[in-house]
C-alpha cells in the first residue's frame, strides 16, 4: 500500500518536472526572440537617434547627400507602399475569393495554389527584373512610382492571397448557408456576409505584406527608385527616392560612405518607424472593424 502511494507520488513529481522543463524551454525561446528584437532596435536607436531632427525629416539631402535630410525618400516610400497596397489588396482579395468561393476544388485549383506558393518564394530581385522588363520597358512606364508600385504589388500578392484565403475559410459555412437559404444570391452573400467577417483577418495578413513592400530594395531598384532627386514627384510617372534604396546607396555607393554613417542609421530608424506607422494604421482600421462587427 505504502509502496503504491510512493510510486504514485514519484510519477507525479516526474510529470511535474517534465512539464516545468518544457515550459522553461518555451520561455527561453520567447526570451531569445524578444532580446534579439530589442537588441536590433536598441542598436538602431543608439546609432541613429543623434541625427534625427525636424530638419532631417523635412529637408532634401544636400552636399552630395552627406548633409541635409531624407524627406524625398520618406515620401517616396510612402507613395510606393500605398501604391503597392492599392494594387495588391484588391487583386489579392479578388483572387482569394475566386479560389475559395467560386472555383470548383480540383487539380487545376491545386496547381494554381502551388503556383502562388512558389511565387511567394521567388527572390525579390527576380520581381525587380520582371518589373523592369514588363512595366518599365514593355509598357513604357519608365522608372516610376507606377512601375514600382506594380512590381511591389505583385511581390506582396502571394502574402495577401494566402491571408485572404485563410480569412475567408474561417468564416463559418453556416453563415453562407443561412444567407443562401434565404434566396440571397451567391455574390451578395459573399459581399454582405463573408467579406465583412473576413476583413479583419485579411488585414492582419496584409500587414505582413505592407512591411515587406515598404522595406524591399531589389524590386524598386530598377523600377522606381532614383539615386537622387531633390524634386518631388509630380505624377505617378515620375521617379522617386525611397528609404531602403537610399540606405543601400549611402552604404555602398555614396560619395563619402564613412561620413554618412550616422545618416544611414538615421534613415534606417525612419524606415522602421514608417513601416511600424503604416502597420499601426492597418491595425487601427482592423480594430475599428472588429468593434463595429457587433458579434
User: Please, which residue, 6 or 170, has the CB nearer to other proteins?
Assistant: 170
Torsion from C-alpha of 204, 209, 215, 218, nearest 10 degrees? 170
User: Please, which residue, 167 or 269, has the CB nearer to other proteins?
Assistant: 167
Site for other proteins in 194-223 (CB under 8 A): 197
The one among 29, 105, 117, 256 contacting other proteins by CB under 8 A: 105
Instruction: Rule CB under 8 A: say whether 291 interacts with other proteins.
Output: no
CB of 293 to other proteins, least distance (A): 6
Instruction: Rule CB under 8 A: say whether 29 interacts with other proteins.
Output: no
Instruction: Rule CB under 8 A: say whether 107 interacts with other proteins.
Output: no
Question: Do 128 and 218 contact (CB within 8 A), yes or no?
Answer: yes
Cβ neighbour number for residue 29 with a 10 Å cutoff = 10
- Site stretch for other proteins (CB under 8 A), options 7-15, 78-86, 122-130, 182-190: 182-190
- Single out the residue of 239, 242, 223 nearest to residue 231, CA to CA: 239
- Site stretch for other proteins (CB under 8 A), options 51-59, 74-82, 174-182, 200-208: 174-182
The one among 26, 181, 253, 291 contacting other proteins by CB under 8 A: 181
Instruction: Rule CB under 8 A: say whether 185 interacts with other proteins.
Output: yes
Cell numbers that stand for 69 in this block: 535630410
- 153 vs 117: CA distance, rounded Å: 16
Instruction: Rule CB under 8 A: say whether 174 interacts with other proteins.
Output: yes
The one among 3, 104, 107, 291 contacting other proteins by CB under 8 A: 104
DSSP 131-173: HIIIIIIIS---SSHHHHHHHHHHHHHHHHHHHHHHHHHTS-H
- 172 vs 175: CA distance, rounded Å: 6
Binding residue count for other proteins, defined by CB under 8 A: 22
- 208 vs 223: CA distance, rounded Å: 22
Which residues contact other proteins (rule: CB under 8 A)? 104-105, 172, 174-185, 188, 192-193, 197, 293-295
Amino acid at each position: 500500500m505504502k509502496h503504491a502511494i510512493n510510486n504514485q507520488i514519484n510519477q507525479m513529481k516526474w510529470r511535474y518536472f517534465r512539464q516545468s522543463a518544457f515550459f522553461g524551454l518555451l520561455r527561453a525561446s520567447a526570451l531569445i526572440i524578444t532580446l534579439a528584437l530589442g537588441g536590433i532596435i536598441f542598436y538602431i536607436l543608439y546609432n541613429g537617434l543623434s541625427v534625427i531632427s525636424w530638419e532631417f525629416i523635412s529637408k532634401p539631402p544636400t552636399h552630395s547627400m552627406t548633409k541635409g535630410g531624407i524627406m524625398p525618400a520618406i515620401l517616396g516610400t510612402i507613395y510606393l507602399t500605398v501604391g503597392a497596397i492599392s494594387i495588391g489588396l484588391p487583386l489579392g482579395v479578388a483572387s482569394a475569393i475566386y479560389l475559395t468561393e467560386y472555383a470548383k476544388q480540383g487539380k487545376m485549383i491545386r496547381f494554381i495554389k502551388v503556383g502562388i506558393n512558389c511565387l511567394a518564394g521567388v527572390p525579390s530581385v527576380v520581381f525587380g527584373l520582371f518589373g523592369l522588363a514588363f512595366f518599365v520597358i514593355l509598357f513604357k512606364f519608365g522608372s516610376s512610382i507606377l512601375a514600382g508600385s506594380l512590381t511591389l504589388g505583385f511581390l506582396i500578392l502571394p502574402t495577401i492571397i494566402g491571408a485572404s484565403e485563410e480569412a475567408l475559410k474561417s468564416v463559418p459555412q453556416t453563415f453562407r448557408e443561412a444567407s443562401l437559404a434565404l434566396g440571397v444570391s451567391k455574390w451578395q452573400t459573399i459581399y454582405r456576409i463573408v467579406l465583412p467577417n473576413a476583413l479583419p483577418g485579411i488585414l492582419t495578413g496584409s500587414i505582413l505584406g505592407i512591411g515587406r513592400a515598404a522595406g524591399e530594395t531589389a524590386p524598386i531598384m530598377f523600377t522606381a527608385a532614383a539615386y537622387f532627386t531633390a524634386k518631388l514627384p509630380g505624377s505617378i510617372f515620375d521617379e522617386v527616392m525611397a528609404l531602403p534604396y537610399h540606405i543601400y546607396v549611402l552604404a555602398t555607393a555614396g560619395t563619402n560612405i564613412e561620413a554618412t554613417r550616422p545618416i544611414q542609421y538615421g534613415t534606417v530608424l525612419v524606415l522602421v518607424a514608417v513601416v511600424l506607422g503604416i502597420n499601426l494604421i492597418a491595425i487601427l482600421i482592423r480594430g475599428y472593424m472588429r468593434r463595429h462587427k457587433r458579434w
